[in-house]
Amino acid sequence: MIRLFTAVAVPAEIGAPLLARQHGIEGARWRPQEAFHITLKFIGDVQEPMAADLDEQLAAIEAPAFDLSLAGVGFFGEGPEIHAVWAGVAESPDLRRLAKANEAAARRAELKPETRLYTPHVTLAYLKRPAVPEVAAWIQAHNLLASPAFRVDRFGLYSSWRTSEGSAYRLEAQYPLG
26 by Cβ neighbours in 10 Å (0-12 / 13-18 / 19+) ranks as exposed
Tens-digit pLDDT string for the chain (178 aa): 999 999 999 999 999 999 999 999 999 999 999 999 999 999 999 999 899 999 999 999 999 999 999 999 999 999 889 999 999 999 999 999 999 999 999 999 999 898 889 999 999 999 999 999 999 999 999 999 999 999 999 999 999 988 877 788 999 999 999 9
pTM score, whole prediction: 0.95
Q: Return the closest-CA partner of residue 5 out of 106, 93, 92.
A: 106
Domains of the chain, start order: 2-176 (3.90.1140.10)
How does the average pLDDT of the chain come out, rounded? 96
